[in-house]
Each structure stands twice: as C-alpha cells, then as structure tokens.
Chain A
Amino acid sequence: MAGLNGMNTTVAKTIKLYIGGAFPRTESGRSFPVYAHDSKKVYAHLCRASRKDVRNAVSIAKSALAGWSSRSAYNRSQILYRMAEMTEGKRAEFVETFVQTLGYSQEQSNGAVDQAIDAFVYYAGFADKYQQVIGSVNPVTGPHHNFTTPEAVGVVALLCSDEFDFGQLVTRIAAITCSGNTAVVLLSENGAAVLAPLAEVFATSDLPGGVINLLSGFMDELYLHMASHMEVDSICCDCNDTKIIATVKEEAVHNLKRVVLNSPKEPGLQNILNFVEFKTVWHPVGD
C-alpha cells in the first residue's frame, strides 16, 4: 500500500519525474498533492514540473533522437514488446494506482491495463511494418529509381487529456516512439500518479534514456512552454480545452511544428501517420 496516510508503516514511494532515464525531482522543488479518490486523503505528493524541467526534458529528448531513430525497427519493436511484458508484471501496481486515485473498480483497472498492454504489443508488432504499408516505390518517368519512406518527425510533445485514459496514453506513446520519435509527455493532473509505475516500465525495458520523458505538473502552467519550444518538432494535443488548442496552434507557427489534434484513441495506422515525415529519394538508373 502506497498511501502516505495509510494506517501502516510500509515504505511509501516518492513519485518523481522521469527525464533522461533518471528519476529526478523537479528542479523547482514544488509538488502538488494527489488525493485518494473522492477523499481528502493525500495519496502522494507529485512533482510539479516547472518550465525549466520542460526545457531540460526537451533537450534530453532531442539528444536521444539520433540514437533512437537510427535503431533498427526490429530493436524498437523488441523494446516496445518488453514494455508490454513489464506492464503485465506491474499489473497490480497499476491497478492499485487506478483504484486508489481514480476510483476505478478492479475490473475497470484491469481493463485499462489490458488496453495498455494491447497498445504496446500492437505497436511492437507495427514498428517494422508500417514503413511497408505507408512507404512506396514511385513509378516516375525517366531513368530514376524513386522511393518514399516514413521517418521520425523528431521530438514530440504530448499534452495529455484531462480525462485520464490509460489506453489512449499508451497508444500515443507507443505510436510516437515506434517510428523513432522521442517524446516529452505532460500528464494531466488527473491520473498523474500513473507516472510512477509507467516510468518504471520504461526504465526496465531497455529503452535508452531520454526517449520517453514523463512530467507531472499543471497543464495551464506548462503547455505554453511545450508549444513554444523551438526544438519541439511536433505537438500532440489530447486535452480538450479550446483555449489551449488555439494557443498551441498559435505558438506552433514559430517553427511550424506539426500540430496533431483528434488523433484516434485506439491503436491503428493513423496514429503512426500523425507522427512521421515522408522522405522521397531519387537516384538515377544507369551505367
């Protein structure tokens, strides 16, 4: 039992941020309480990430990009599958978190974990196939070989939905990373406690540090810094606040970062398409 205010003396877990494969506290030293569902009981004090944590996470995600995107698709696939395995291994912890902080039933919680595992497995299996599905060899006129392949967009910022949906969150992260992008994820306050077990899944899946970075904090305070950061290549906005969406679009214009809205919640091809860039290569055919 992880509750700080529980009636026992087990060692509680401190939930920190997950940046660059490490678990730092926020540089700001701030925190915010997460309560046990429908109660005033503090479940945990989460780090309230700051603008500087965002900056730090983005630059780490950026430096992880070259390595991750040049890994073989098969290797990314293996790591995503490992995440599914680790999620299964941590099922009890995820369930406990959902029951405690979101008031899910056991069945609901297990369903959410199932969805997440399905999403990891789905994209583990897609990592070395989507290129064949959405790439092409193009029949150009003239003596040239011409082909189009999808590539990672780069650093993707993810602003999570305020209606916590574990399946959607994992679908998003798995789709983003399976094509070689790196991610900076800002969890919404609601459900942010999932950061603890989820970060541990990533930390134990042979995932290179910096590929996935998880931040907890206040959406209102941080979304602007994610949207305006010039090293962020793409921003996916799952939160429904129209003001936030408009501001994100506005800020995205500075470096023309790709803005992804209304991406499907369920695993599928569209989620990959939303986070790739197409490169077309020409080469002459001659002797």
Chain B
Amino acid sequence: MQRIISLQNHNGEKVSIASPPIDAVMLHERADSFTKRSVKKQSKMDALYKCIEMIDLTTLEGADTVGKVKQLCSKARFPITTELADELAGLPNYKPIPQVAAVCVYPSMVQTAKDALRGTTIKVASVATAFPAGQIPLKTRLQDVKDAVSAGADEIDMVINRGAFLAGDYQTVFDEIEQVKAACDKAHLKVILETGELSTYDKVRLASEIAMEAGADFIKTSTGKVSPAATIPVTLVMLQAILDFYDRTGKIIGMKPAGGIRNAKQAIHYLVMVNEVMGPRWLTPDLFRFGASSLLNDILKQIYKQVTGRYAYDKSFSLD
C-alpha cells in the first residue's frame, strides 16, 4: 500500500509525501533488461562520449593532497594526453574527447579544484555535511556546506541523516535537507541517500520522495564508502520516483548513481536505462551524472579500441 507521511516545511506548511511500494523481483527483471541491450558500433561510440560528459570525476580519500586534486583536475580537462590525441586525431571515427561534467572533492580541496579548473565549464562539486557518515551536529554540517560554497563549490553533495530516517524520524531528515538547501545558496544540491544502508527498495523510494520534496536538485545513490553502492535496480527506483515527481509537480530532478560503476559496459547499461525509462530528455549532464573515478579510463580504453581496432593497454592512459 502507498505510504503517506505528513511533514511540515520550514514555513510551517503541511507537506504530504506519498511513497508507493516497490516489488523487488519485477524491479530486478526490468533492471536486467537494460543490461541485455546490445549497444554496438556508432551507438556505442556516441554513448561512450556521452558518458564522459556525465562523469563527476571523484577523489574522496583521506590521503587526498593538493597535488592529487590538481592532477585530477588536469585529467578532467584533458582526459587523454595530447600525444595520444594527436595519434588518434587522423582516424576516421575519432572526435575530440569531451571534458567531464565535474570534479568532486572534499570541502578542503574546493579552492584547489576551483583554481585548477578556472576558465573551463567543468563544475566543482563537493561532498559536505560531514561526508560520508554525517554523524556530527547539524550546525557543524551546515557550516561545512557554507564553507564549501564560499570556497567556490558549484554543487554540494550532502548525505541524509540515515539514523533519523531508519528511526522513522522523517521530519528531521526533511528539515535537515531544507536547511542544507538554504545553506547552498546558488549551488546545486545533490542529496545522497546512501541506499546501501537503507536496505529495502521501499525505503529508497521513500527517501527519494523526501529528498525531492525538501529541495534536492539531484538525488544520488551512494557515498561510495558503503557496499553495495549504486546498482541498476536501486537507480531504477530513484528514476521512477523522479518521473512521478515530475508528473506531479512539473519539477525536473537529476539523478546521480555513484560508486561501483567502474567500466564502460556498466555505464552504458545505465545510459540505456535512462534512455528507456526517462526518455532522451534526461540524457544530459544537467540531469544525469556518474559519480566515478576509474570509469573514465575504461571508457577511454573502449574508445581507443573503437577508433584503432586495437585493445588498449592500461598505461595508454594516465591514472589520474
């Protein structure tokens, strides 16, 4: 039965959130159907290029340094070396490799990334709100967001309060997202549900509804720090939530699966899903992103193979 929850927004207005049930088995059947599409030849090339444009190239390690982030930004701007670009340039199928959508870093690295990407259209995204656990006081989490924004972040990836969510305190989850949204100012807000901790698709759907009602511009599966991270079925649940939300409100929300998408084949499965569930309208970096780090190189390898007919070896492409 559809779950209906009554909450209040920051203006004290009643907000009614309806979340339909999900049948896991049929959901998986549909999800599997996307992985069985055969995407070859030109359609594969087009898809690979499109995937690059949708990547939030990510580094979120305790060991991140300024140097590492600078290298990542360089990779974001020039995914392949100029040397290789020159080698491929003459070949018939080759088009210049596009830049990724964004670079995603911790708040302390926003300034570094911003500087490194100056003059490009590549966005700087930052995980804030005490990523990944979010288990510190709200005040501190909001400050985290404000700091990232003032350092120049274009996009904020927040984590929801899973503790409150699992305890059934949906009002707190909603309030916090609203407050983070306010703290974001002009920055776009991606709300990470951390689906791997929510355990059922019904809960993923409910969390998606709460996030969208509270002001998310994007909803995002995972931090990448919890297994399972993004999966096709969980992304499908969220996409269908987005579509229903659009039908109901006219508001267009974006989707970002993150974590676990390591190769081009997987990425194409996601693209197929977006294409078939949402239609071509959502096949744009404005509305669909991959949160990934090693994905880019695998896509580049596939492009190399498509263009040259040879399988690439790992060292053709820089690690970051």
Contacts and interface: CB of A to CB of B under 8 A. Distances in A.
A235 B26 CA distance: 41
A174 B65 CA distance: 85
B94 to A, nearest CB: 44
Q: Is the interface of A mostly helix, strand, loop or mixed?
A: loop
Contacts of B200: 287
A284 B201 CA distance: 15
B23 interface: yes
Interface string B3-28: 00000000000000000000111101
B202 to A, nearest CB: 8
Interface in B177-204: 199-201
A287 B233 CA distance: 13
Interface in A141-198: 143-144
A143 B25 CA distance: 7
For chain B, the bracket of interface size reads under 10
Contacts of A139: none
A285 interface: yes
A144 B24 CA distance: 12
Q: Looking at A143, A144, A285, A287, which has the most chain B CB atoms within 10 Å of its CB?
A: A287
Interface string B196-215: 00011100000000000000
Contacts of A143: 25, 28
A285 B26 CA distance: 10
B293 to A, nearest CB: 31
A285 B23 CA distance: 9
A283 to B, nearest CB: 9
A284 B29 CA distance: 11
A274 B28 CA distance: 40
A285 B24 CA distance: 8
A29 interface: no
A286 B28 CA distance: 10
B141 to A, nearest CB: 31
Nearest to B202: A287
Contacts of B24: 284, 286-287
Contacts of A287: 24, 199-201
Interface in A247-287: 284-287
A143 B28 CA distance: 10
B163 to A, nearest CB: 21
Interface string B280-316: 0000000000000000000000000000000000000
A143 B26 CA distance: 10
A228 B303 CA distance: 72
Nearest to B26: A284
A279 B26 CA distance: 22
B200 to A, nearest CB: 5
B288 to A, nearest CB: 27
Contacts of A286: 23-25, 28
A216 to B, nearest CB: 55
Contacts of A284: 23-26
A286 B24 CA distance: 6
Contacts of A285: 25
Contacts of B28: 143, 286
Given A284-B23, A286-B24, A287-B200, 5 more contacts: A144-B25, A284-B25, A285-B25, A287-B199, A287-B201
Interface of B: 23-26, 28, 199-201
Q: Lowest 4 CB-CB distances: which A-B pairs, in order?
A: A286-B24, A284-B25, A286-B25, A143-B25
13 contacts: A143-B25, A143-B28, A144-B25, A284-B23, A284-B24, A284-B25, A284-B26, A285-B25, A286-B23, A286-B24, A287-B199, A287-B200, A287-B201
